[in-house]
Amino acid sequence: MWGDYQTEPTIKLDSLLKDVLSEGVNAKYAYRHFPIDSNCNPGVKNYKNQYPGSCEMAKVVEAVDILCGNEARWRVHKLFMTTQQSVSLNSLANTAASVCSQSSETIADIAASADVAIRLRDDINSKLRVWKRSVPVLVIDGRFIPRWEVEGTTGRDTLLQIIDEASK
């Protein structure tokens, strides 16, 4: 899934995917960044709605991955999927420091590094190869899923069916 930490549809799909995966289905969840913030994503400069600070959120998550590993990355991801009072780099790094055994200054320094910028650019470019509009974007077993909420069913049921079919 590609998403932006500050958009309601991304937050909703993230929660739905975690719910579905908690049922023991044979699938893994990968979250990729597509910040709707022209500070790091020039492709969204003409979007009507912008989410300032989304770039910083994505950068801090990637910095935590570099510094403290995948488990800490997912813990910070979970924190950022909730409403943040401040989306400044320093404030976000401070929040991440509660999860990662590094100082907020170290996290902020890595978040501002070229390595993190490359990771973010790769996520953004890979999303654009799949779907140019909106977030979140969901791909299961290499297939773009345009809708997971189908009238008459729950999103959960639809996702379980798609995952089941993909595993055959």
**pLDDT number for residue 168:** 80
Q: Give the count of beta carbons closer than 10 Å to the beta carbon of residue 35.
A: 29
Which helix (H) or strand (E) segment is 143 a member of?
A: strand 143-145
**pLDDT number for residue 14:** 96
Q: Give the count of beta carbons closer than 10 Å to the beta carbon of residue 66.
A: 17
Backbone angles phi, psi at 83, to 5 degrees: -65, 130
Residues 77/58, Cβ–Cβ less than 8 Å: no
pTM: 0.93
Residues 17/102, Cβ–Cβ less than 8 Å: no
Q: Residue 38's closest CA among 70, 14, 4, 75? A: 4
What 3-state DSSP class applies to 145? strand
Burial of 151 per CB tally in 10 Å (0-12, 13-18, 19+): exposed
**pLDDT number for residue 29:** 94
Strand partners, 33: 3
**pLDDT number for residue 133:** 78
**Contacting residues for 114 by C-beta, under 8 A, at least 6 apart:** none
**pLDDT number for residue 61:** 98
pLDDT in tens, the chain (168 residues): 999 999 999 999 999 999 999 988 888 999 999 999 999 999 898 888 999 999 999 999 999 999 999 999 999 999 999 877 788 999 999 999 999 999 999 999 999 999 999 999 999 999 999 888 789 999 999 899 988 887 888 889 889 989 988 888
